[in-house]
Amino acid sequence: SDGSVEQKFSLREVLDTFRQCLSENKEVYLQHYVSGWRGLVKFLNSLGSVFSFISKDAVNKIQILVNHQNGENGGHYITVQSMVKYELENGLVDLTKRGGHPESGCRTLLRLHRALRWLELFLERLRTSNEDSKTSVMCADAYNESLAQHHPWVVRKAAGVAFCVLPGRQAFFEVMNVGPPEQVVAMLGEALPLISEVYQITEELYSHHNMLDLP
């Protein structure tokens, strides 16, 4: 393709990075997980300034993980599995209450992991929606079913306000920049199983290590 033509944002590319997340033996590459989130943040920001409050925390979390990757122990931050092993074996995770490791890779990734479930539920609703469906309702339902359980009242309230100003279904599909609605639906149908698999693998790993409620 012509390198001089700047590629417009497309949600398809973002979702493709989640395809690269999984190694052959089903480990989750941190680098691709982080790239996927970078793209999601771009997407969120293109929805309007109200969403920058939502994306800001994701940006902070992404940066924390990047710092771990670039740090002197970066060699342990290749996959989520190697990160968990390294941090647990070296006592680098606050397991029951906040303490000396407020920015552990484990607790930081857990926040993004929970948000990924929201995204998965929301995109699945979008995929199966019709022209009359309201994005604000789909988004709020997905949120209440997932991430909301982990948020205090103020955050839930602010999120509710942001959802109300979400663009309608048609405008939303246009921002995704994937093509006509049928193509969006097809793309979502392809991407969702990938996101779901990454989510499930991470969930099982955290559950196995009793880390689903890290403070």
Binding mask 26-65 for ligand 1PW (x = CB under 6 A): --------------x---x---------x--xx-------
Burial class (CB in 10 A: 0-12, 13-18, 19+), 149: exposed
Phi, then psi, of 148 in degrees rounded to 5: -55, -35
Secondary structure class of 29 (helix, strand, coil)? strand
Q: What is the H or E stretch that residue 145 is in? A: helix 135-145
What is the Cα–Cα distance from 22 to 126, expressed in whole angstroms?
25
The residue among 75 and 168 lying less far from ligand 1PW, judged by its C-beta, is 168
Asked if residues 111 and 62 have their Cβ atoms less than 8 Å apart, the reply is: no
| Minimal distance, residue 162 CB to ligand 1PW, in Å | 9
Q: Which stretch binds ligand 1PW (CB under 6 A): 22-30, 66-74, 112-120, 201-209?
A: 112-120
Query: Which residues within the stretch 189-208 sit at the binding site for ligand 1PW (CB under 6 A)?
Result: none
| Minimal distance, residue 2 CB to ligand 1PW, in Å | 31
Does 122 help bind ligand 1PW (rule: CB under 6 A)? yes
Amino acid type, 1: S
Q: What is the H or E stretch that residue 32 is in? A: helix 30-46
Binding mask 133-152 for ligand 1PW (x = CB under 6 A): ------x-------x-----
| Site residues (vs ligand 1PW, CB under 6 A) | 40, 44, 54, 57-58, 111, 114-115, 118-119, 122, 139, 147, 155
